[in-house]
Structure 1
Amino acid sequence: MNNKGLITFLLFILLLGMIGLQILTMIQSDRLYERLNRLMDLTSSRQISTQNQTVTPGQTSSTKTENKYPGDEGDWAVANLSGEPRTLTPISVDWSSDSTQVCMRNIYETLFYYDNDFDGVKLKPVLANSMTVSDDGLEMTVKLKDKIWFSDGKPITADDVVFTFQTMMDPRVDAANIRNYYQNVQDVIKVDDKTIKFTFKELYWKTLESVGVTEILPKHIYQYTDANEFNKRVTNPVGSGPYVFERWDVAQQIILKRNENYWGKKPNINKLVFKIISNSTAALQSLRSNSIDFMEPSSEQFTDMSKNDEFKKNFNIFSYWEPSGGYGYIGWNQSSPFFKDKNVRVAMTLLIDRFSIAKFILKEKATVVSGPFYLHGKQNDPNVKPWPFDLKKSAALLDEAGWKDTDGDGIRDKDGIPFRFKLSYTTASPTAEAIVKVIKDDAAKIGVIVEPDPFEWSIFIERMNSSQFDACMAGWGGTIESDPYQIFHSSQIADRGSNRVGFNNKEADNLIEEARKTLDEKKRYDLYRQLHRLLHEEQPYTFMFSRPTFLFIDKRFENVKVHQLGVDPMEWYVPKDKQRYK
């Protein structure tokens, strides 16, 4: 559910330390500065290096850049979306919908964004020209570039930045699932038309990511008096990005066209077309019939097509690991009578044969995981091994929890309630259906009845957001270092937060909060590894798999490169003699 490549599923804020003794504050400020240096590759004057030039406040870069990417202009790039977005307004989007993210990154822009080729987290300026941080780390001043404007020609000013963050923090606006990332922002102030000052309640160690990678909205388009008016805005998005909205044919496609008034480096592709194809089998058929140009295949499709010589003549096949790859999971809703007890949740994990699923259904293209952190990252505890497949032990734990077959009908029960639950998943993936069947068959062997509960993508997401499920099979995208606050902290259960399973554990809350305050990386990683071990014991999720990103891309596209963070369609072009669309 994370559209991989350059898309980043979530923006994470972590707090950076309790302000106490003056000497401690000084140490933390020094460490924050060191962190910012690594993150932003700052010069000694604490200014962002823009286009390899140091830019001081009040100055702009004089470096000239080519106003378009190399290659021939023309043609369209047609992709599939697994589901229809709920809205194209960034603050109100459901960030678990990768289809929304695909559209957003082309229409809207941010102050900073991730460097494609940096092996780690590093931001580079987009709308920003320079940034300075106060000595105590509690103020950040951002200067905008001079010659930047929205697609309607209106200049981008500090008013737009202030409006964006004020809207984000407005409790009446439908942004509960991302608002917690901005809870430490104390104020956003306009200094002048091109300068914004951010103040923070406490130190952050991801200040620049939380503030910098936020889509900036044009105030003159999105300003509102009634928040419901803003919440109901679904289509006709306006931003400053390289593409503009053309039309949305409901249940069919979304079309973006190149922004000919774009202030920055123009892409070569004339149109981006996103066809709504919820089934991956149908998507592959569309790819092979030239109805779409690229897609992310399932593991099975990747394996099969990699052996197909005819397919390989027409399509490039990519496989690569990236930090945003995330993980799949089955979430156990703890408001359900079945999954309040951790022993039951562990029993559920023990009855799922993840290793056989990875081998036979996912064609050995996935790795079974034991927790939520990037498999190759420092938060992950490599000593925590996935629970095995063990029906005997699963049955024993269910017996211990009081779930026994008391009436001899072959189904476990407790207090008159039969152990029969629905496992919700999206119809977008035939692989999901196959996995659910394996789980259903194995569960039945020990008296647990699993009822498959498939939904079309948009309905599935809505049910997830409102926790209307017994158990659900889904996934999260990730980052090199992620903040589990949104997903596992108890404060995120209410108001459509992302703790959809209702995991409420004081020890987990304490570890998450302490990690947010810990600037020292070694100590912070130790806290996250403790959390990893706790989640392994508690099993709010059955952590399923991580896998590489797979891509099929039509060979007529050239300059397709795999960066540290994936592929960047902005770089692509199609030679004139191979162009399919006019």
Structure 2
Amino acid sequence: MNNRSGLFTFMLFLFLAMMITLQILAMKQSDRLYERLNVLLERGAGFTRDEATQTEREKSTKNMPMPKRIGDEGDSLIISLSAEPTTLNHLVTLADTYTSNIVLGNIFERLLEYDRDEIKLKPWLAESYQVSDDGMEVTVKLRDDVCFSDGVPMTADDILFTYQTIMNPGVDAAVKRMFYSKFEDVIKIDERTVKFISKEVLWKTFEVIGLFSVYPKHIYQFDDPEEFNSRRSNPVGSGPYVFEKWDVGQQVVLRRNENYWGHKPKIRKQIYRFITNETAQLQALRSGDIDFIDQPTSEQFDAMKNDKEFNKELKALSYWMPGVPTFYIAWNNKTVFFKDRLVRLAMTHMVDRNAVVEYILKGGGEISTGPFYIYGQQYNKSIEPWPYDVERARELLDQAGWVDTDGDGIRDKNGVPFRFKFSYSTGRAFYVQLAKLLKDAAAKVGVDVIPDPYEWSVFVEKIHNRDFESISLGFGGTIEYDPYQQFHSDQISNRGDNVTGFSNPRVDKLIDIARRTLPPDERYALYHKFHKMIHKEQPYTFLYTRPERAFISRRFENVIIHKVGIDSHEWYVPKEKQKYK
């Protein structure tokens, strides 16, 4: 009996030992399978390895406190916008502009948000997520305490509706649709759970899922896509502010969402005034009619930052952050002028970018050679800017066959004079100065430039319709930039964001490989190669990048510069300084 008992004990011990060993091996195998996803979450998507490998690979915001608000309640924040938004519908292509986004960021919220100081994506409307071992499926559980501003709870149906609206070919959402084209489907598991299914694992997958503005289905559902496209006002979301009114040509007024599920901001109203003239903006700020100017002119910033009278009531802010814009001249590669790389390179050589930085920007910027954040790891620091060289520009134009055959001082080719329009938005003195500089520079090499200004909404529509020869704008706004949107040939048609029409199979292939490359260092090396190729091809002449700058009234306190910028939702005005009820 004792022998049988001892044998049983031994066999039980052996069985348990084998089970433990198998479990350890399974865990190791799972870890190896999951290593690729860990890399994705580690730096490319802003998560740390420890966060990605929690129990059941789940990250939860249960019991996670929302950012608390300090200070007195009340008052209004009046912000100057240099252009009126084209629409207040976040999803349509026309909303892909700074003015629309700055307003709508107060109304709509996303599943994940960047931590302001750690630059990591963390759950927001999501309560938790689970990632499959192969990284192809991400299951998101929604918070149970989120309501839209009309009091209706957010559910999985709203996530599905938003995704299906973006993917509806009749909806004018080409820019947003591009981001979700690599998803096979989004499935509702239950009222609070959805599953995102990818066609392939990309480094940007988590960011794309996370930065997903949720639209309430019961407000926005439609039968005809044009019904959705034409809805440009009265936005409804779950954010800390709600839409009050849009006085066309004057202002958009938001009021605090008193039923907000998170910690309410202290400031009761945000008012966005449309002041297109930069001098008028500064006058309104100094007189107290507005409280905040984003990106004042270089002349204004240089003059005001050390002005004693100005600094008594106002403050100048300046800071670098990932996502600051890179400004450029874009050449429409489909035109007879700029389809040739030699011509585009000649244009870059003829533009004195040092003069742009030193004289127009008053030294408030740095020459850039590509679309990436100049202090980030994607940026190829080994690339030297093409020098200002008028003679070299002339040689390149000669090589491209643009010569002055009739002696009128303007180069021509096949009977077409080299005369092109430089289109830009009105209201910013910089673009007027740039147009003059470009026209003078072009004249030195036998090219005629026609300045072609437009009101902002018209300008944006011309860009989306490719109705231009050259334009100047800037792009940025993301922590790690994916060039697919602006440089891949897939994004030329259907109002995609490759507005220059640039097409190069080698560049396309490199972008595709980089998007599937999860280890950050390997991906950065690929982007360095991409940077070199774009530097050679010059679909854009990259002019400069600059720090974020702003003027703000000293009435506002708790104005903190985080690693990702400033957040007006944490500002407040002490009772004794408040001006508005």
Distance 1:93 1:114 in 2: 24
**1:64-213 matched pairs, under 5 angstroms:** 69-118=69-118, 121-213=119-211
1:3 corresponds in structure 2 to none
Give 1:32's aligned residue.
Answer: 37
Deviation for aligned residue 1:536: 0.6
The equivalent of 2:452 in structure 1 is 453
**Retained in 2: the 8 A contact 1:87–1:93?**
no
Distance verdict in 2 for CA 1:416–1:93, change over 3 Å? closer
CA deviations 1:43-96 (Å, max 9, x no partner) are: 52122253xxxxxxxxx42x6668x61111111000111222222122115354
Identity, % of aligned positions = 51
* Structure 1 residue 156, shift from structure 2 partner: 0.7
Q: Which has the higher helix share?
A: 2
Contact (CA 8 Å) 2:60, 2:129: kept in 1 or not? no
The 3 A distance-change label for structure 1 pair 578 and 168 is same
Say whether 1:44 aligns with 2:51. Answer: no
Contact kept in structure 2, 1:377 and 1:480, CA below 8 Å: no
CA distance in 2, matches of 1:361, 1:325: 19
**What is aligned with 1:277?**
275
Query: Which ranges of structure 1 fall in alignment gaps of 5 or more residues?
Result: 1-22, 51-59
AA in 2 matched with 1:482: Y
How far off is 1:28 after superposition? 6.4
Whole-Å separation in 1 of the counterparts to 2:446 and 2:29 = 57
Q: Matched residues in 2 for 1:162 and 1:49: separation?
A: 21
Letter in 2 for 1:192: D
Contact 2:329 2:543 in 1 (8 A): yes
Which has the higher mean CA deviation after the structures are superposed, 286-295 or 250-259?
286-295
State TM-score, norm by structure 2.
0.91
> Are residues 25 and 337 of structure 1, via their aligned partners in 2, closer, same or farther at CA, if it must alter by over 3 Å?
farther
Distance 1:25 1:444, change over 3 A: farther
Query: Contact conserved, 1:25 with 1:136, CA < 8 A, in 2?
Result: no
SS for the counterpart of 2:79 is strand
Counterpart residue type for residue 37 of structure 2: L
- What are the residue-to-residue correspondences of 1:10-29 with 2, within 5 Å? 29=34
Amino acid at match of 1:164: T
RMSD of equivalent CA atoms: 1.7
CA distance in 2, matches of 1:131, 1:94: 32
Distance of aligned partners of 1:28 and 1:510 in 2 relative to their CA distance in 1, 3 Å threshold = farther
Determine helix, strand or coil for the equivalent of 1:515. helix
**Distance between the aligned counterparts of 1:24 and 1:386, measured in 2?**
48
Q: Contact (CA 8 Å) 1:330, 1:472: kept in 2 or not? A: yes
Letter in structure 2 aligned against 1:109: E
CA distance in 1, matches of 2:65, 2:515: 41
**How far apart are the structure 2 equivalents of 1:140 and 1:317?**
43
Q: 1:228 maps to which residue?
A: 226
Mean Cα deviation higher: 153-162 or 31-40 = 31-40
Secondary structure of the residue aligned to 1:257 is: strand
Q: Distance in 2 between matches of 1:526 and 1:243?
A: 42
Deviations 1:353-373 (A, max 9, x none): 000121111011110111111
Aligned partner of residue 228 in structure 1, secondary structure: helix
Supply the distance in 1 between the matched residues of 2:29 and 2:297 (Cα, whole angstroms).
Answer: 50
* Structure 2 unaligned regions, length at least 5: 1-27
Q: 1:382 to 1:420 in 2, by over 3 A?
A: same
SS class of match (1:291): coil
In 2: Cα distance, 1:262 partner to 1:487 partner: 36
1:103-144: CA deviation from partner (whole Å, max 9, x where unpaired): 1110111111111011xx411121111111011111111111
Partner of 1:489: 488
Contact 1:26 1:136 in 2 (8 A): no
Q: Could you say what secondary structure the match of 2:94 adopts? A: coil
How big is the shift at 1:523?
Answer: 2.1
3-state DSSP class of the match of 1:325? coil
Q: What aligned pairs does 1:54-453 form with structure 2 within 5 A after superposition?
A: 60-61=62-63, 69-118=69-118, 121-296=119-294, 297-453=296-452
Supply the distance in 1 between the matched residues of 2:484 and 2:94 (Cα, whole angstroms).
Answer: 17
Taking a change above 3 Å as real, the CA distance of residues 472 and 24 of structure 1, as seen in their structure-2 partners, is: farther
**Structure 1 position 208, deviation (Å):** 1.7
SS in 2 for 1:90: coil
1:195 shift after superposition: 1.1
Measured against aligned partners, the alpha-carbon deviations of 1:510-561 in whole angstroms (never above 9, x if no partner) come to 1111111212222211111111111111100000100001111100000000
Q: Distance in 2 between matches of 1:180 and 1:27?
A: 31
Listed one character per residue, the Cα deviations across residues 418-441 of structure 1 (whole Å, up to 9, x for unaligned) are 111110111121011112111111
> Is 267-276 or 28-37 further displaced after alignment?
28-37
